[in-house]
């Protein structure tokens, strides 16, 4: 067994909540809320009361057959009804539900009432196509309103949706559709990407030749480029034609709390993507509660999560969370730096975005431009910021805090996964913040750090992140692969403790510092170091924009660190800079951080959701097979 290093990250800054934040906050006392969360069933049932149930649950948590936990059993509910129908009898009826914006600056606004009508029509049309409760519907769509409408229509009639990210190639697409046995596929003529239109339909045409379960392909006329309804398939129909003339009301299907809601494949940072299955009621309660309390959602907030709907962040916090709370959700189709790196800030200014949620990869990218673009626009409307997807380096956190949030917006660093469905470790707006730490488990979440034997590690030591009690939005299985479900997540510790696969360290205040994935951990001279810690040290140097590190075997030292770095504008990797970097990292991390090579690169291998894929770097280094690359960025 390897020894742990001493506390590596030495980040000591603490940011207390500002008065304006405290005054508005739904949760004013985070310690009290955490106390309340200790009574799991009471805590989550109170949250569940806020929705409209067709029939109330008998049992909040059924843990008879661990780890196949069930939530709100006996309850009957429809998630789309709670996200849309519920609002049309209220003052929100004419409020914008979806604010769609694209890189060309075009916008579309859809009110709750309009959304209601459109979801109903499409739901009826799907029924006419023969889609029934429990059938699977897939999408390969841009970030556009019809994607949200399609998913909500599925949910309304009890069909299971399975979104395929629109940037995936034919092979990855085919695997996912066939795995999920989808009956209907939604696609579009194209999607806007950096001034071009990507012909999604052509990719879909090629893919579906290998997808025998697809009976109908629904094509959304999104960009207006001329397309042919392919004669090859004979299974296609335009979206507009499909919904035309359909009745404007559709009775929601009364779903059992535990009926499947969707299948979604993970981003594949560590290996072959897993088909994660989520169910209805627990997911709904978990997602809405976390969004409400972590981002303190109030009426007249303008919520913008930049995550793509092709990933879990988009499912939970572009569609379901915001609509369940009756807020306006921004749906943006485009890149963070096109037509220029000020495009996001321009949107914040124009529409008055109040809550903004993005990924560290985007922040690190935009931070290269200093304050040039953040200073160009008025960002005063922002109240709370957030990040998700990877550990955020303290350096990037500070840039975001100072230049985007103008030192008045707390940053919610939310740790969670496709599997968890909802945020599990995150500050609330009133939690004192430490840059680079996701702070504390959300109320009701029992997270801990353990060693290989499952024993809790002392404060300050690193170990494996585990969740010791169930939570409502947890995934229920891996689709058609129960063995892998048990094997990967539950087998290790007693069968009922969830192993997240990430390394973490808890500090003296109980704050969690994610150190990276356990697969990416470096074992240097008998010490265990998280990749995130070494990379943070690199990014803390003014010359470095991004870094990825791997362990490389060394005949003498066992393993040394090899670093791949992207330099900021104006720097060159000369001998002096290499020396500087080595000294800097050694100074930050201590003598343990034995650096082998440092190489300069223009790009790092990333998943299409923006996460660094260190396994690709390792495989390349060893001259091994790259493994599953279906989600690797071009
Ligand atoms: P795969 O499981 O196929 O390798 P993936 O883990 O990248 O893919 P996701 O479920 O999208 O797929 O990502 C979850 C992971 O992202 C977490 O396990 C963690 O490693 C990382 N992550 C998410 N949020 C944070 C955060 N706030 N801080 C640190 N890491 C985070
Ligand atoms: Mg994962």
For residue 265, give the ligand nearest its CA: 1
Whether 119 and 352 have beta carbons less than 8 Å apart is answered as no
Global pTM?
A: 0.95
Interval between CA 389 and ligand 1 midpoint (Å): 5
pLDDT tens digits along 104-145: 999 999 999 999 999 999 999 999 999 999 999 999 999 999
CB 417 near ligand 1, within 6 Å: yes
In the DSSP assignment, the letter for residue 520 is G
The two three-digit tokens of residue 70, written as one number: 């069930």
User: Mind giving me the DSSP string for 438-486?
Assistant: -BSBPTT--EEEE-TTSPBPPTT-EEEEEE-S--TT---EETT-HHHHI
- For residue 10, the model assigns a pLDDT of 64
- pLDDT number for residue 594: 79
**CB distance 267 to ligand 1 below 6 Å:** yes
Share of the chain above pLDDT 90, in %: 85
- Could you tell me if 328 and 97 are in contact, meaning their C-beta atoms sit under 8 angstroms apart? yes
Segment 397-421 shows an average pLDDT of 98
Q: Ligand 1 pocket check: which of 609, 611, 612, 613 to mutate, most ligand atoms within 8 Å of Cβ?
A: 611
Cα 569 to Cα 345, 365, 415, 602, distances in angstroms: 22, 12, 31, 11
Residue in 264, 252, 263, 258 with CA at minimum distance from that of residue 281: 258
Substitution site in 359, 396, 416 for ligand 1 pocket (most atoms within 8 Å of beta carbon) = 416
Tokens of 602: 């223009």
Which domains are present in the chain?
A: 525-622 (3.30.300.30)
Q: Mean pLDDT over residues 154-170, rounded?
A: 95
Report DSSP state, residue 493.
T
For ligand 1, is residue 344 a contact (CB within 6 Å)? no
- Nearest CA residue ID for atom 13, ligand 1: 417
Q: For residues 188 and 204, what is the distance between their CA atoms, to the nearest angstrom? A: 9
CB atoms within 10 A of CB 585: 27
Is 219 touching ligand 1 by the criterion CB < 6 Å? no
pLDDT, tens digit (0-9, with 9 covering 90-100), for 529-550: 889 989 999 999 999 999 999 9
3-state secondary structure of 431: coil
Predicted confidence (pLDDT) at residue 234 exceeds the cutoff of 80: no
DSSP string, 76-133: EE-HHHHHTGGGGGSTTTTSEEEEEEETTS-EEEEEHHHHHHHHHHHHHHHHHTT--T
Q: Is 388 in the pocket of ligand 1 (CB under 6 A)?
A: yes
Chain centroid to Cα 229, Å, comes to: 34
Give the ipTM: 0.99
Q: What was the pLDDT predicted at 229?
A: 63
State the average pLDDT over residues 36-44: 98
Q: Which of 9, 413, 418, 530, when mutated, tests ligand 1's pocket best, judged by the most ligand atoms within 8 Å of its CB?
A: 418
Q: Which ligand approaches the C-alpha of residue 357 most closely?
A: 1
- CA distances, 184 to each of 124, 312, 467 (Å): 14, 21, 36
CA distance linking residue 547 with residue 563, whole number of Å: 7
Q: How far apart are CA 616 and CA 620, in angstroms?
A: 6
Q: What's the length of the chain?
A: 634
pLDDT, the chain, mean: 94
Which atom of ligand 1 is nearest to 272's Cα?
Answer: 3
pLDDT at 3 over 50: no
- Residue 223 Cβ < 6 Å to ligand 1: no
If we measure between CA atoms, which residue out of 176, 423, 207 comes closest to residue 275?
176
Q: Beta strands 558-567 and 595-600: pairing type?
A: parallel
Q: Look at residue 254 and tell me whether its pLDDT is greater than 60.
A: yes
């Amino acid at each position: 067994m390897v020894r742990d290093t001493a506390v590596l990250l030495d980040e000591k800054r603490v940011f207390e909540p500002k008065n304006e934040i405290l005054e508005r906050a739904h949760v004013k006392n985070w310690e009290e809320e955490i106390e309340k969360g200790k009574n799991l069933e009471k805590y989550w049932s109170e949250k569940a009361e806020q929705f409209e149930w067709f029939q109330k649950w008998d049992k909040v948590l059924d843990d008879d057959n661990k780890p196949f936990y069930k939530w709100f059993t006996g309850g009957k509910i429809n998630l789309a009804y709670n996200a849309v129908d519920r609002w049309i009898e209220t003052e929100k009826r004419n409020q914008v539900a979806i604010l769609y914006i694209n890189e060309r600056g075009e916008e579309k606004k859809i009110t709750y009432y309009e959304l209601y009508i459109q979801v109903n029509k499409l739901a009826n049309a799907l029924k006419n196509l023969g889609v029934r409760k429990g059938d699977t519907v897939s999408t390969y769509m841009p970030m556009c309103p019809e994607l949200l409408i399609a998913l909500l229509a599925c949910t309304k009639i009890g069909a299971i949706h399975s979104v395929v990210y629109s940037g995936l190639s034919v092979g990855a697409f085919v695997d996912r559709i066939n795995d999920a046995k989808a009956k209907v596929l939604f696609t579009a003529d194209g999607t806007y990407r950096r001034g071009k239109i990507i012909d999604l339909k052509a990719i879909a045409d090629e893919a579906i030749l290998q997808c025998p379960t697809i009976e109908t392909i629904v094509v959304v006329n999104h960009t207006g480029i001329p397309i042919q309804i392919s004669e090859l398939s004979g299974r296609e129909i335009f979206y507009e034609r499909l919904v035309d003339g359909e009745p404007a009301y559709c009775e929601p299907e009364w779903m059992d709390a535990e009926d499947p809601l969707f299948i979604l494949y993970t981003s594949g940072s560590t290996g072959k993507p897993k088909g994660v299955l989520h169910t209805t009621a627990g997911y709904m309660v978990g997602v809405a509660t976390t969004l409400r309390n972590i981002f303190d959602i109030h009426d007249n907030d303008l919520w913008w999560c930049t995550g793509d709907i092709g990933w879990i962040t988009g499912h939970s916090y572009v569609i379901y969370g915001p609509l369940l709370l009756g807020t306006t959700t921004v749906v943006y189709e485009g890149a963070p730096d096109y037509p220029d790196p000020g495009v996001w800030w321009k949107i914040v200014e124009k529409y008055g975005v109040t809550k903004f949620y993005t990924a560290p990869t985007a922040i690190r990218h935009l931070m290269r431009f200093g304050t040039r673009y953040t200073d160009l626009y008025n960002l005063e409307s922002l109240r709370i910021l957030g990040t998700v997807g990877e550990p955020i380096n303290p350096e990037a956190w500070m840039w975001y805090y100072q230049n985007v949030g103008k030192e008045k917006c707390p940053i919610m660093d939310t740790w969670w996964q496709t599997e968890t469905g909802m945020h599990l470790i995150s500050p609330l707006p009133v939690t004192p913040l430490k840059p680079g730490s996701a702070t504390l488990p959300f109320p009701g979440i029992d997270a801990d750090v353990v060693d290989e034997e499952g024993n809790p590690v002392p404060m300050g030591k690193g170990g494996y992140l585990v969740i010791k009690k169930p939570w409502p939005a947890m995934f229920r299985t891996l689709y058609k692969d129960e063995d892998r479900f048990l094997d990967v997540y539950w087998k290790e510790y007693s069968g009922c403790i969830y192993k997240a696969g990430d390394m973490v360290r808890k500090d003296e205040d109980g704050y969690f510092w994610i150190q990276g994935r356990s697969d990416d951990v470096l074992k240097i001279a008998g010490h265990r170091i998280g990749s995130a810690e070494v990379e943070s040290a690199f990014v803390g140097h003014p010359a470095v924009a991004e870094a990825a590190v791997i362990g490389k075997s060394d005949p003498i030292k066992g393993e040394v660190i090899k670093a791949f770095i992207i330099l900021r504008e104006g720097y060159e990797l000369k001998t002096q800079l290499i020396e500087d970097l080595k000294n800097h990292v050694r100074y930050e991390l201590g003598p343990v951080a034995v650096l082998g090579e440092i190489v300069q690169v223009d790009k790092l291998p990333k998943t299409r959701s923006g996460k660094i894929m260190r396994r690709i770097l390792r495989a390349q280094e060893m001259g091994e097979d790259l493994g599953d690359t279906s989600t690797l960025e071009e």
